[in-house]
Amino acid sequence: MNEEKTGLGRVYDSRTEFGVRTFSGGLKFPLGYWKQGETKQLIETRYEASRVETRIESIKITQADFTYQGMPHCLEFEWIYKESRRPKIIDHQTYTYCPNNGMVKQVKH
Protein backbone atom coordinates (compact mmCIF):
# COMPACT_ATOMS: atom_id res chain seq x y z
CA MET A 1 0.00 0.00 0.00
CA ASN A 2 1.34 3.47 -0.80
CA GLU A 3 2.03 6.02 1.95
CA GLU A 4 -1.14 7.99 1.11
CA LYS A 5 -3.19 4.77 1.52
CA THR A 6 -4.97 5.53 -1.79
CA GLY A 7 -3.74 2.48 -3.66
CA LEU A 8 -1.34 -0.33 -4.25
CA GLY A 9 2.02 0.58 -5.70
CA ARG A 10 4.73 -1.44 -7.40
CA VAL A 11 7.65 -2.50 -5.20
CA TYR A 12 9.65 -5.02 -7.25
CA ASP A 13 9.81 -6.00 -10.92
CA SER A 14 12.11 -8.71 -12.25
CA ARG A 15 10.77 -9.21 -15.77
CA THR A 16 13.58 -10.51 -17.97
CA GLU A 17 13.19 -7.82 -20.64
CA PHE A 18 13.60 -4.99 -18.09
CA GLY A 19 16.00 -6.43 -15.52
CA VAL A 20 15.56 -6.07 -11.78
CA ARG A 21 13.95 -2.81 -10.68
CA THR A 22 12.54 -1.64 -7.36
CA PHE A 23 10.09 1.18 -6.70
CA SER A 24 8.74 3.40 -3.94
CA GLY A 25 5.64 5.58 -3.98
CA GLY A 26 3.43 5.25 -7.01
CA LEU A 27 -0.03 3.98 -7.69
CA LYS A 28 -1.00 0.87 -9.70
CA PHE A 29 -4.44 -0.01 -8.26
CA PRO A 30 -6.93 2.23 -6.42
CA LEU A 31 -7.88 1.45 -2.81
CA GLY A 32 -10.30 3.15 -0.47
CA TYR A 33 -12.98 5.65 -1.40
CA TRP A 34 -12.77 7.06 -4.93
CA LYS A 35 -15.48 8.83 -6.96
CA GLN A 36 -16.25 8.23 -10.62
CA GLY A 37 -14.26 10.78 -12.67
CA GLU A 38 -11.73 11.34 -9.86
CA THR A 39 -8.02 11.42 -10.74
CA LYS A 40 -5.10 11.00 -8.35
CA GLN A 41 -1.45 11.45 -9.25
CA LEU A 42 1.64 10.32 -7.35
CA ILE A 43 5.40 10.46 -7.84
CA GLU A 44 7.07 7.08 -8.10
CA THR A 45 10.81 6.61 -7.54
CA ARG A 46 12.39 3.90 -9.64
CA TYR A 47 15.71 2.27 -8.71
CA GLU A 48 17.57 0.35 -11.41
CA ALA A 49 21.19 -0.62 -10.73
CA SER A 50 22.86 2.71 -9.86
CA ARG A 51 20.19 4.81 -11.64
CA VAL A 52 17.41 6.57 -9.74
CA GLU A 53 14.52 8.16 -11.65
CA THR A 54 11.17 9.66 -10.75
CA ARG A 55 8.05 9.09 -12.77
CA ILE A 56 4.44 10.26 -12.46
CA GLU A 57 1.67 7.70 -12.13
CA SER A 58 -1.98 8.70 -12.31
CA ILE A 59 -5.25 6.84 -12.04
CA LYS A 60 -8.63 8.11 -13.20
CA ILE A 61 -11.82 6.25 -12.27
CA THR A 62 -13.78 6.05 -15.52
CA GLN A 63 -16.64 3.78 -14.33
CA ALA A 64 -17.53 2.73 -10.81
CA ASP A 65 -19.92 0.01 -9.64
CA PHE A 66 -21.11 -1.18 -13.04
CA THR A 67 -21.91 -4.61 -14.51
CA TYR A 68 -19.39 -6.00 -17.00
CA GLN A 69 -20.37 -9.16 -18.92
CA GLY A 70 -22.80 -10.18 -16.17
CA MET A 71 -20.34 -9.48 -13.34
CA PRO A 72 -21.67 -6.84 -10.89
CA HIS A 73 -19.82 -4.11 -8.96
CA CYS A 74 -16.94 -3.73 -11.43
CA LEU A 75 -14.48 -0.86 -11.59
CA GLU A 76 -12.84 0.62 -14.69
CA PHE A 77 -9.82 2.88 -14.35
CA GLU A 78 -7.28 4.51 -16.61
CA TRP A 79 -3.62 4.29 -15.59
CA ILE A 80 -1.02 6.65 -17.08
CA TYR A 81 2.74 6.50 -16.51
CA LYS A 82 4.76 9.61 -17.51
CA GLU A 83 8.27 10.91 -17.30
CA SER A 84 8.59 13.52 -14.56
CA ARG A 85 10.91 15.89 -16.45
CA ARG A 86 8.66 16.30 -19.48
CA PRO A 87 5.07 15.26 -20.20
CA LYS A 88 5.95 12.22 -22.35
CA ILE A 89 3.60 9.28 -21.73
CA ILE A 90 5.49 6.02 -21.24
CA ASP A 91 2.51 3.72 -20.72
CA HIS A 92 -1.28 4.21 -20.86
CA GLN A 93 -3.71 1.42 -19.97
CA THR A 94 -7.40 1.04 -19.12
CA TYR A 95 -8.20 -1.78 -16.70
CA THR A 96 -11.50 -3.36 -15.69
CA TYR A 97 -11.56 -5.08 -12.30
CA CYS A 98 -14.48 -7.19 -11.05
CA PRO A 99 -14.69 -8.58 -7.48
CA ASN A 100 -14.10 -12.35 -7.24
CA ASN A 101 -12.76 -12.32 -10.82
CA GLY A 102 -9.76 -9.93 -10.73
CA MET A 103 -8.64 -7.93 -13.75
CA VAL A 104 -10.99 -8.99 -16.54
CA LYS A 105 -10.01 -6.53 -19.25
CA GLN A 106 -6.95 -4.52 -20.21
CA VAL A 107 -6.71 -2.03 -23.08
CA LYS A 108 -3.33 -0.58 -24.05
CA HIS A 109 -3.57 2.91 -25.61
| pLDDT tens figures, 83-92 | 888 879 999 9
CB-CB contact of 40 with 59 (8 Å): yes
Query: How many other CB atoms are found less than 10 A from the CB of residue 27?
Result: 24
The residue among 37, 26, 38 whose CA lies nearest residue 84 is 26
Closest CA to 48 of 14, 73, 92: 14
Model pLDDT, residue 101: 98
pLDDT category, 109, cuts 50, 70, 90?
Answer: very high
Condensed to tens digits (0 to 9), the pLDDT of residues 36-88 reads 999 999 998 889 888 898 999 999 999 999 999 999 999 999 999 998 888 79
Residue 31: inside a domain:
yes
In a domain, 1, yes or no: no
Is 57 within the bounds of a domain?
yes
> What pLDDT shows up at residue 5?
87
Is the whole-model pTM more than 0.85? yes
Is 54 among the domain residues?
yes
State the Cα torsion 45-13-74-104 to the nearest 10°.
150
| pLDDT (0 to 100) of residue 40 | 94
Strands (E), 1-109: 7-8, 12-13, 21-25, 29-30, 39-48, 51-68, 71-83, 89-98, 102-108
Q: Give me the mean pLDDT over the 9-38 stretch.
A: 88
- As for how many domains the chain has, the answer is 1
Bridge partners of 48?
51
Residue 64 belongs to what domain range?
A: 7-108
